[in-house]
Amino acid sequence: MRDFVARNESEKHLENIPKLLRDGALLALHAAGEPAPVVDIRCDPEASAAFLDRVQIEQVVFNLARNAIEAMSSGVRRVLTLSTKLTTDRMTEISVADTGPGVSADIRARLFEPFVTTKESGLGIGLSICRVIVEAHGGKLTAEDNPAGGAIFRFTIPN
């Protein structure tokens, strides 16, 4: 998978990140086909544009948002938050946070490995593909507990 992404020259252009987040979230909401959670998009003006392959990064946003929506499907409080910020090393950090059940520590340690899944019908390749795409952009993908309950997936891309 890593070789496939590396072999294919990505088309990197200066892209509007708030629009990319809206589009990725809308696709995920449409694909989920269940009652939509509250969606909150918060973008730091200093982290609103970056050179990236729009199709690839939108795929990452879509996958993370779809996973978050699915994780919250049986919850009472369902809030999907997408946000950006500029890191101290001048990277754009994009966060996708949910108020679902979160990810257990034992699964989190292996979460980005191929074929690791918590879903009954999942293949376990979505997050590993996301990691490959983010790393091909020179960034990093991580997961952590959301203090409000749930999980936060963060990834960075060069500004």
> Exposed, middle or buried, 116 (CB in 10 Å: 0-12/13-18/19+)?
middle
pLDDT, one tens digit per residue, over 4-56 is 454 556 788 999 999 999 999 999 998 877 788 999 999 999 999 999 999 99
CATH of residue 71: 3.30.565.10
Angle between helices 17-32 and 54-71 (to 10 degrees): 50
46: its two tokens: 């200093």
Residues 158 and 90: their CA atoms lie apart, in Å, by: 7
Residue in this structure with the two tokens 């050179």, named with its chain if needed = 51
Q: How many domains does the chain fold into?
A: 1
Predicted TM-score (pTM) of the model is 0.89
Residue 148, domain extent? 2-158
Residues 12 and 50: their CA atoms lie apart, in Å, by: 9
pLDDT, one tens digit per residue, over 106-147 is 877 777 776 556 656 555 678 989 999 999 999 999 999 999
